[in-house]
Structure formats: C-alpha cells, structure tokens
Amino acid sequence: MNTIPTPQEQLVRAVELATANVHNHGGPFGAVIVTADGRAFDGVNRVTDNNDPTAHAEVTAIRTACAALGTFDLTGATLYSSCEPCPMCLASALWARVERVYFAADRYDAASAGFDDAVFYEYFDTPVAERLMPVGQLQTQDIPAVAPFDAWNANTARIAY
Ligand SMILES: [Zn+2]
C-alpha cells in the first residue's frame, strides 16, 4: 500500500488548513510545503493575528520549512496552496527555489471574498506611470548606490543565494 500522499491529497490538506484557519483568527488561506524527500510543513495565514501583512500561508509554510530544516533553499520542494499564490508568495517560492506550485481556488475566487490578489497581479500589467504604488529610482548623494554590491563582491566569506 502506498502511504505517500498524492498531490491531490496534499492540496486537500491545504484547503482544510485554510478552512480551519478562518475559525482561528486567520485569513482563509492554507499551504503545505513538501520537500524533495517528502517531509511536509504546514502554513496558514496569520496576517491579522500577527499584524504581519507578509504572513500569507505560503510564506508561513516556507518560513516554517526553512527554520525546521536549517536552510534557505527548498530546491526540489512542491508548494500546495489553498488559493493561487499572490505575487509576493509566488516570488517567495521563487526565492526559496521551490520546484513546483499547485493551487486550488484562483485569484478571482479570492477577489470574490474581498482579497486583493487579482488587483496586485494587475499592478504588473499596468503602465508604470499609472501604477497603484509609484516605484522610482533616486540618485543617492555621498555614497554610490552600488556600494552594498561592491562590499558583497569583495566579501570572500559571502554565502551566495
Ligand atoms: Zn500571498
């Protein structure tokens, strides 16, 4: 008998975590990270409870997995999310070197519950001058803007990531 959970079973678990989280002071989002060797780490949304706008389920799962495993690199891992990851979570998964992402509900389902995932995706499709939050480069005075990179490149003890 095969006891390894299927991708569908992992995704069901993420949806169950999300649903239970609604009744535990959290947003309706859950996630599971499964490492390349099959270890699973849960995450749920803790934004309002922790006053942390970055505490999305996927980020929480990534943080939990990395802390437990003592690494910043989840190469080979799969992320299961109860809902399509927002741009922050997608980028977090990229930074964590997650190999693959599965989700259940999508960004439009999230929008129907009042969440801004779809709006934030639109940000990237909007002309720069019309974006919700202007982002611009400023010239620094007295210090070269690339000083941190010069220091990094000169540091032979650096840990690349
Ligand atoms: Zn997110």
pLDDT in tens, the chain (161 residues): 567 899 999 999 999 999 999 999 999 999 999 999 999 999 999 999 999 999 999 999 999 999 999 999 999 999 999 999 999 999 999 999 999 999 999 999 999 999 988 889 999 899 999 999 999 999 999 999 999 999 999 999 999 99
| pTM for the full predicted model | 0.93
Rounded Cα–Cα distance for residues 149 and 34 (Å): 34
Q: How far is the CA of 55 from the centre of ligand 1 (A)?
A: 8
Q: How far is the CA of 1 from the centre of ligand 1 (A)?
A: 36
Per the annotation, the verdict on 58 as an active-site residue is: yes
Select which of 9, 16, 58, 122 is catalytic.
Answer: 58
Give 27: exposed, middle or buried? Use CB within 10 Å, 0-12, 13-18, 19+. Answer: buried
Task: Using a CB cutoff of 5 Å, list residues around ligand 1, an ion.
Answer: 56, 86, 88-89
Upper half-sphere CA count for residue 48 (Cβ side, 13 Å): 9
